[in-house]
């Protein structure tokens, strides 16, 4: 008999100090998400900011990932805080919001995805009840702890305000974006997510989060860098995206027959 996934373990594991590796999905195909979820990733995250994943395909993808027994996350589109709440309604466990550059941005994000007293998340949907077997009253009491809201730190302004952003009630932690940090810190000269200025920014973000007692996440430029980031103490780490998985598999197979 199929055993349903044990939901909302992601928040518990991150708060226990584990480093978790997530796959990153940019293709709006639930079957692909299901396939990836059945591998050894700790979670599967959908990117609605820089891909063709829309709200409906993210919802379907979350269901596929949950069915495969894994937790799902979503990076919502820019300023789409309301989508974050809807995705939590259908079973997402972590919401990442891009371009959180100020306390005001962080407050808007937290308000949308956290129930009172931390925010003003609207009540609705019943998918979570099917997933967790929890009655509405118990879910309401525990939802703010069982779900994770990460504010992306990826600009000069966000980096300068990171301590204040982390202090906003309802913001569970921060998620560092190395590509945009390289662009903003190098003043648009080049894209270099492995540049020393990015590593220095990552160190500042990690130290600020640890000082605030908040969670961390980041996008790793490579699996090798992901291993280093885990050793440094980062929590929710993007290991690889779906297009690289598909291309890498294709290239490996073709190399084997054409070498």
Q: At 146, is the secondary structure helix, strand, or coil?
A: helix
Residues whose CB falls within 8 Å of the CB of residue 226, separated by 6 or more in sequence, listed in order: 21, 220, 237, 238, 239
> Is 67 one of the annotated active-site residues of the chain?
no
Q: Is the peptide bond before 243 cis (omega within 30 degrees of 0)?
A: no
Cα 64 to chain center, whole Å?
Answer: 17
What number of helices (H) and strands (E) belong to the chain? 13, 8
Catalytic residue among 2, 50, 67, 195: 50
Q: Where are the alpha helices (DSSP H) in the chain?
A: 9-15, 30-37, 55-67, 81-89, 103-113, 127-132, 136-146, 156-160, 162-166, 178-185, 196-212, 223-232, 242-258
Give CA–CA dist 84/77, Å, rounded: 9
Give CA–CA dist 11/4, Å, rounded: 18
Query: Could you list the active site residues?
Result: 50
């Amino acid at each position: 008999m199929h055993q349903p996934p044990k939901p909302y373990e992601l928040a518990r594991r991150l708060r226990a100090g584990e480093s978790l590796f997530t796959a990153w999905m940019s293709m709006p195909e639930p079957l692909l998400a299901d396939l990836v979820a059945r591998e050894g990733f700790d979670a599967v995250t959908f990117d609605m900011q820089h891909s063709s994943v829309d709200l409906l395909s993210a919802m379907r993808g979350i269901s596929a990932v949950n069915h495969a027994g894994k937790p799902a996350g979503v990076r919502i589109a820019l300023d789409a805080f309301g989508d974050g709440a809807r995705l939590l309604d259908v079973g997402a466990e972590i919401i990442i919001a891009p371009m959180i550059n100020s306390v005001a941005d962080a407050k808007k994000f937290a308000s949308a995805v956290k129930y009172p007293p931390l925010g003003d998340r609207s009540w609705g949907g019943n998918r979570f009840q099917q997933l967790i077997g929890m009655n509405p009253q118990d879910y309401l009491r525990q939802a703010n702890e069982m779900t994770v809201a990460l504010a992306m730190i990826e600009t000069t302004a966000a980096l300068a305000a990171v301590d204040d952003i982390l202090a906003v009630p309802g913001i569970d932690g921060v998620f560092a974006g190395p590509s945009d940090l390289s662009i903003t810190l190098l003043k648009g000269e080049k894209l270099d997510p492995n540049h020393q200025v990015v590593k220095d920014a990552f160190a500042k973000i990690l130290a600020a989060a640890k000082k605030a007692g908040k969670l961390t996440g980041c996008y790793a430029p490579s699996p090798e860098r992901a291993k280093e980031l885990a050793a440094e103490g980062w929590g929710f780490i993007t290991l690889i995206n779906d297009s690289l998985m598909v291309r890498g598999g294709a290239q490996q197979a073709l190399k084997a027959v054409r070498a």
